Structure 1
Amino acid sequence: MALLSLITLTYICYAYSSLSSSTVYRNSLDVDQEVPSLGVPRSVQQSWVMYSPYYPSEPYVPPPEGCSLDQVRRLQRHGARYPTSGAATRIVAAIGKLQSVESFTDPLLAFLKNYSYDLGYDDLVPYGAAQSFQAGEQAFERYAWLLSEANQPFVRASSAPRVVDSATNWTAGFAAASSHHYKPILSVILSEAGNDTLDDNMCAAAGSSDAEDNLWLSTFAPPMTARLNAGAPGANLTDTDTYNILSMCAFDTISHETRSPFCAIYEELAGPAAFSYYGDLDKYYGTGYGQPLGPVQGVGYINELIARLAGKPVQDHTQTNATLDGNPETFPLNRTLYADFSHDNQMVAIFAAMGLFKQSAPLDPTKPDPNRTWRVQKMVPFSGRMVTERLSCRGTQSVRILVNDAVMPSEFCGANADRVCTLDAFVQSQSYARNDGEGDWAKCFA
């Protein structure tokens, strides 16, 4: 397979022409600093869960004393995007119902008289391109000392255009931060029509989160729907329409980089808490712990991770592409920085297969647990990332895992107080992945 260089300068230039420097260049290492404002409070942005802009969950902490870093593997979600085509269709239908009425009796809806829906679908928005570019800059600033001209970052992406564009914006940001001393390229694109460890496309028998999502929707949405219908007599909105109207606070704001008028509806109807929990349920029962065939969709990636950490060939019989993973040009084992670009659903499957964000009890679709550890806003916001750092700690190979800069407790591999576990212990802890999902992979095709 020929190596691919697919830098998308159009996205990069558009991103920089449309964003102010105060938005693009915030210090992403300072968790106490406000996330890019977009005219919306941080608490509201974070309630958008999988549609939240990236922010660090905690300040980055260097490896503990006595440990030296020798390899890094990044797994990153694509940057902010427009709604998917299906979501866009539902959003347009809901807005159309509101705009079809003769008059509004609720001032919250008055803006709809002159509102025109102008969002695209599926692709990165300029803000999302800038997120990826900035993530590349940050990666250079943090890890460049691991590299040399002969040892540059090795980059892969799943084949969806928004993922490919995120990867190439990341490589451009990395190159720019190095004053073009380093020029990483996107080397491998994994087709989502085939074996792909960066997309959840291969488990045909996997269920969905629809039942749990709909149960929560029927719990929180009826009073909101009633309020909207009262303010727009004749609209006849459903609870699903209400959810789609709420989602426009995120999508419209991110697309136009300024507070959307839909956010007034979102906040007035007490949408943040309800919307946030909907996202938690959606991922938990979609590809997370609540989906019997969710975690198995992440085992191929974990087996690739183990191979690179241990410097040994991939051992896997699930999602991996044996041809690519068996070729040192398309799956090298001798690099010190790897970057993979993926989707939120696949990252959630990987987290669950690995043992991250484990819940003490399943999420209740009718009642949020305020103490839950499963919070999607801290897991897979737009441009969210998991970083696995391989360390040498007093002569012992070790690892630690960070998600959005927060060092994970990693109890599953016996991590110490510094949240570091030995490489051997980490590998042993991943028996579910090493055993190809312990029978679950076969169930995907039953």
Structure 2
Amino acid sequence: MRLSSFSLWFLAFIIGSVSARFSDFESFKNTFNLQEHLGSLSIYHEPYFTGLSSAFPESCEIRQVHVLQRHGSRNPTTGDGVTKAGYLAEVQDKLINGSFPINYKIPDNPFQFIKSWVPVVDVSNADKLSSSGRLELFEMGREVFIRYNTLFDANVYEINTAAQGRVVESAEWYSYGMFGDQMANKTNFIYIAEDETAGANTLSDHKACPVYNEKNVDHKETKEAQSNWEDIFLAPIKTRLNLYFSDYNLTNDDVKSFYYLCVFEIALRDESDFCSLFTPSEVINFEYNTDLKFSFHGGPASEWSETLGGAYVHNLAESLRSVYNETNYQKTFFAFTHDTHIIPVEAALGFFSDVTPENPLPVTYNPYTYSAKTSSFVPFAGNLITELFQCQDQKFYVRHLVNQQVFPLTDCGYGPSNSSDGMCELSAYLNSPVRSNSTYNGTDTFNVACKANPTNVTVHY
């Protein structure tokens, strides 16, 4: 599934000299794709890194592939808060029954569409995949099977999946894409509980880490970061939209609810009039609000990111090392999970070197040019694919793909081309200081720091 992507990073480079807190992106309205800048709720798309080719390198053969896959696009989830199904359903009711006093007499009122609007958020569908989410995963499974067809020489393939319904269904659709009506015969599903019983074999990170989860680690810092930023960037939006209501002052949550109706209507029916309420620059500031959350809560700005993501990286490393036993090693690995698991894994791999606990994202302005963009790394159906090649020099080389785009590894040398190609020789990759603590000690670190529970489930990442 290859969708064209407008590069926000390139755009930020162009406007880098602009010092205003809210840069004007209106001149890019003909190329700006709002759907690709909705944080972790964005549609699936390729990010922009360096334009490196994702084709298999010449003189190399693919030997192993690891897929870490997020579930597809979904309905809002259950629970409390402005992003949840119950809250948004109440907002829908208020818009229809007039509890939000929209002044339709104002010419060009952008809320005019409410007169004929049909709500789509249904509480009974909370947590479920959308129809497009099912299609996304089926198509991805098909493409992976085609791309790595030479590795599919086993009778049965292990499918590791977090046990939550939408993740399991995503894994099933993906598997149907790979194997069609033979799916049941070709797969062995391993279901990983999303609680403390998972131990270091988690596919839901912090929920399997008792210390982190029960003590609400990072919760205060995350909430304060988002609250600070929301008070700044939502203020002008409220001022602008207040003009279209009679004797009513919008709250921060009101504005956020309109934004999340935009987001989930796109996920459920591919378009939304609510999106027209916001300018491109406002959408990008919403995107930054999501990035603050993922960065501070278990992400690269947290002291815990390497711990939470390190167990996966350790298992990945052990599987990569297994190729040295040329007569008996597993060639394909599949793990299905959530966005909140993938970001810590990528942090433990060293993907976000510009965002650290010592140098976190700022909470008073949007710097635009930062690496940890959830829109790019964990949109709906986002994935991290690790490829292992053996080349003519008989050495093994590692490469990462993020949503089918080559991630530019820069800490462990080059591939056999001796140029920037996103590849690293296996031993240099495993021993790089950027990730060596995780590749060698990730599971032990998780168990000790988390006081994790033992598990009898063996998961192959």
TM interval, short-chain normalised: 0.7 to 0.9
- Per-residue CA deviation, residues 75-99 of structure 1 (Å, 9 max, x unaligned), is 0100000111232233234445543
SS in 1 for 2:218: coil
Picking from 421, 424, 428, the partner of 1:421 is 424
CA apart distance, 1:144? 1.1
SS in 2 for 1:399: strand
Q: Please give the alpha-carbon distance, in whole angstroms, between the structure 1 residues aligned to 2:450 and 2:120.
A: 39
**Segment drifting more, 75-84 vs 373-382:** 373-382
**Segment drifting more, 363-372 vs 432-441:** 432-441
In structure 2, the partner of 1:321 is none
SS in 2 for 1:373: coil
SS in 1 for 2:119: coil
In structure 2, the partner of 1:227 is 240
Picking from 117, 126, 132, the partner of 2:131 is 126
CA apart distance, 1:53? 1.3
In structure 2, the partner of 1:300 is 311
Question: How many percent of aligned residue pairs carry the same amino acid?
Answer: 27
Q: Is the 8 A contact 2:141 2:177 kept in 1?
A: yes
Q: Is the 8 A contact 1:101 1:234 kept in 2?
A: no
After superposition, the Cα gap between the structure-2 partners of 1:197 and 1:133, relative to the gap in structure 1 and judged at 3 Å, is: same
**Match for 1:124: what amino acid?**
L
In structure 1, the partner of 2:68 is 75
- TM-score of the superposition, structure 1-length normalised? 0.79
After superposition, the Cα gap between the structure-2 partners of 1:438 and 1:220, relative to the gap in structure 1 and judged at 3 Å, is: farther
In structure 2, the partner of 1:277 is 288
- TM-score of the superposition, structure 2-length normalised? 0.77
Picking from 32, 39, 42, the partner of 1:49 is 39
Q: Is the 8 A contact 1:47 1:276 kept in 2?
A: yes
Unaligned runs of 5+ in 1: 1-27, 34-39, 313-332
Q: Is the 8 A contact 1:171 1:183 kept in 2?
A: no
Q: Please give the alpha-carbon distance, in whole angstroms, between the structure 2 residues aligned to 1:260 and 1:137.
A: 29
CA RMSD after TM alignment:
2.9
**Match for 1:142: what amino acid?**
R
Q: Is the 8 A contact 2:120 2:265 kept in 1?
A: no
In structure 1, the partner of 2:77 is 84
Q: Please give the alpha-carbon distance, in whole angstroms, between the structure 2 residues aligned to 1:156 and 1:402.
A: 20
After superposition, the Cα gap between the structure-2 partners of 1:91 and 1:283, relative to the gap in structure 1 and judged at 3 Å, is: same
**Match for 1:56: what amino acid?**
E
Picking from 152, 157, 161, the partner of 1:157 is 161
Alignment of 1:372-387 (within 5 A): 372-387=370-385
Q: Is the 8 A contact 1:171 1:186 kept in 2?
A: no
SS in 2 for 1:311: helix
Picking from 190, 193, 206, the partner of 1:191 is 193
In structure 1, the partner of 2:25 is none
Count of matched residue positions in the alignment of Structure 1 and Structure 2: 389
After superposition, the Cα gap between the structure-2 partners of 1:102 and 1:355, relative to the gap in structure 1 and judged at 3 Å, is: closer
Alignment of 1:323-342 (within 5 A): 334-342=329-337
CA apart distance, 1:137? 0.8
Picking from 148, 152, 164, the partner of 1:147 is 152
SS in 1 for 2:191: strand
After superposition, the Cα gap between the structure-2 partners of 1:118 and 1:342, relative to the gap in structure 1 and judged at 3 Å, is: same
After superposition, the Cα gap between the structure-2 partners of 1:185 and 1:419, relative to the gap in structure 1 and judged at 3 Å, is: same
After superposition, the Cα gap between the structure-2 partners of 1:439 and 1:30, relative to the gap in structure 1 and judged at 3 Å, is: closer
Alignment of 1:312-327 (within 5 A): none
Unaligned runs of 5+ in 2: 7-29, 453-461
**Segment drifting more, 434-443 vs 205-214:** 434-443
